[in-house]
Amino acid sequence: MPESLPIVEMVGISIAFPGVKALDEVGLRLFPGEVHTLMGENGAGKSTLIKALTGVYKIDEGEIRIAGEPRRLGGTADAQNAGVSTVYQEVNLCPNLTIGENVMLGHEVRGAAGINWRATHRAARETLAKLGLGHLNPKHSLSALPLALQQLVAISRSMVARCKVLILDEPTSSLDANEVEQLFTVIRGLRDQGVAILFVSHFLDQVYAISDRLTVLRNGRFEGEYRTSELDRADLISKMIGKDIAALKSLDAKASRRVRTDDAPLYAAKGLSRKGAIEELDIELHRGEVVGLAGLLGSGRTELARLVYGADRPDTGEVTLGGEKTEITTPAKALARRIAFSSENRRDEGIVRDLSVRENLILAVQARRGWARPLPRREQDAIVAKYIAALGVRPADPERPIRLLSGGNQQKVLLGRWLATEPDVLILDEPTRGIDVGAKAEIQEYVSDLADEGLSVLFISSEIEEVVRQSDRIIVLKDHRKIAELEGGRDVSAESIVTIIAEDGLGDPSADTAVREEATA
C-alpha cells in the first residue's frame, strides 16, 4: 500500500528460543499517523515481536528498518534513541517518584547547577497538558494516581522522548470503559500528530474502535496484514485461531442448560462481611452450579472471593458446608474443606515462574499433603499427564519452566493445579484475563464441563458478557455490597446487569427493590 513510506519495517524476523521457534519470518510495517493492531492468540509471538522491536530480544534473522535505515537494537535505550517507545501492560514507572519526575526521568532539563527542577517540572506540565492531563500537579506523588492515569503518564513519558513510534502493549486490560475512552482520545490525538502507533489488545471491540490496520500472527508465523475496514470480526478470529468460530458459538448455545438438583446448598454463608472489603451478604453455592460475580472494577468481587476462601478473615458471618457449621479463616482450612481459589493475579499469586509445569501443577496437592510426605514421582506424573491432556496445555512438556508458556497456557496449568486437589468448590478469579480467544473458549468450556460433573464454581470476570455466558446464577456487586442476585436465563444479559448497576442508588428505590424481589423470587 503505497500511500506513504512506513516508518518501521520489520522483514523476515526470526527468533528461536531453546526448543521453540518463537518467530518464523514475521514481517510488520508501521506507518506514521496510523494505529496498527497486532493480533494473535497468546503464544502467537506478539510479545516476542514487540520485544524484538524494543531491543529486548536479539533477532536471529531478518532486518529492522526505522525510517528507511537498517538498525541493530541492543536495548531499550537504543530503541528509544531510534524513536521507539513502549508502554507496557503493567505500568512501568517508579511509584516512589513524583509524576513530573516519572515523565522526565532521563530527560531532565539541566542547567549550570545540575538539574533545573523548575524548568523540568514546567516541561512535565506542558507534556501532560498536551495529553489533556493539565490538571495533574507534576510535583505530586505518582503512587496516588489511579492505574489509568498512570498509564497516561507513561504515555506522556514517551512523548518527552520524542518518539515516532509508540507501542502500547495491552494498555487497556485493567481500565474501565471511561478510562479506555480517555486513553483512546489520547491515542487518536497522537495519531493525528503523525505518530505511528502499535496497539495490542485482546478486546475486539477496542481493536475495531481504534485501529486502521491489523497484522495477524499465528504460532509464530505471519498470517497477513489487513485494513481493519476490510476484515470482519469472524474472519479475524478464524485467522487468529486457524479454525472457525463454531466452537465459540456452541458455548453460547449451552447457556442455562443446568437444572439444580439438590435443594440444600453445598456452601452457604450468612451475613458474611469484612470491614472495608465487603458489607454483610448471604451467598450460597450448590453442587453442579456456576455462580458468577458481576460488578465493576473495585466493586468487591475479589474481596468476596477471598472471604469465601479464607484468604482474608471475615469479621462476621456464619458458614455452613454440606449442612455442617464450619469456620474458614485461613486458606489451609479452606483447602482442607475442599475449597480452591485461583487468584486473578496470575503472575504474582499464581505461577512460580522458575518451576516447571509439573512442579506448578502439583503444588496445591503437595501443600495439602504437607511437605513431610512428598508425592511419589509416579503419582505426580499421572496427575500432570491427566491435566495436561484434559486442559490441552501447549506445549505438552511437563518439564518446561512455566514462565516460557503463554498466559493462556499458564492459566490452564493453574486451573489444573486446583483441580488436582479434587475440590468441591472452585473459585476462579478472572481466569480468562489477558488470554486469547482460543484459550478462553477452551477454559470456559472446561469450566462448564466441571460444573456438569458436580463441581460448584464461583466465577469472577470483569467481562460481564462472560459472566452471563458462563453462570447459572449471578450475584451483582456494587460498592462492596450485593445489590442483586439473578437466575441465569434468557432475560439476563450484560445490558440488564449494567442497567441494574447503573440504576442502583439513583434515587429510585422502587426499581431497586423490584430487582431484589425478582432476584429472591
Judged by the rule CB under 8 A, the positions of this chain that interact with other proteins are 75-77, 79-80, 86, 88, 92-98, 101, 105-106, 108, 110, 113-115, 139-141, 143, 157, 161
339-342 β-sheet, strand order: 339-342, 425-429, 456-460, 290-294, 473-478, 481-487
Cβ nearer to other proteins, comparing 141 with 329:
141
Q: How many CB atoms lie within 10 A of CB 243?
A: 10
Shortest Å, Cβ 138 to other proteins: 11
| Rounded Cα distance, 277 and 272, in Å | 11
Q: How many CB atoms lie within 10 A of CB 327?
A: 14
Q: How many CB atoms lie within 10 A of CB 110?
A: 11
Cβ nearer to other proteins, comparing 97 with 511:
97
Cβ nearer to other proteins, comparing 12 with 401:
401
Cβ nearer to other proteins, comparing 79 with 216:
79
Q: Enumerate long-range contacts of 485-491, CB under 8 Å, 24 or more apart.
A: 485/519, 485/520, 486/518, 486/519, 487/519, 488/255, 488/256, 488/292, 489/256, 490/256
No. of H helices and E strands in the chain? 18, 22
Cβ nearer to other proteins, comparing 75 with 505:
75
Shortest Å, Cβ 306 to other proteins: 17
With a CB cutoff of 8 Å and minimum separation 6, the contacts of 336 are 368
Shortest Å, Cβ 74 to other proteins: 12
Q: CA neighbours within 13 Å on the CB side: how many for 33?
A: 6
**Closest Cα to residue 87, out of 185, 176, 154, 156?**
154
Shortest Å, Cβ 384 to other proteins: 31
Cβ nearer to other proteins, comparing 157 with 346:
157
Cβ nearer to other proteins, comparing 58 with 139:
139
Shortest Å, Cβ 207 to other proteins: 24
Cβ nearer to other proteins, comparing 143 with 513:
143
Shortest Å, Cβ 24 to other proteins: 26
Shortest Å, Cβ 158 to other proteins: 10
| Rounded Cα distance, 34 and 243, in Å | 29
CA dist list (Å): 361 to 349, 366, 415: 14, 9, 9
Shortest Å, Cβ 85 to other proteins: 8
> What's the DSSP call for residue 140?
S
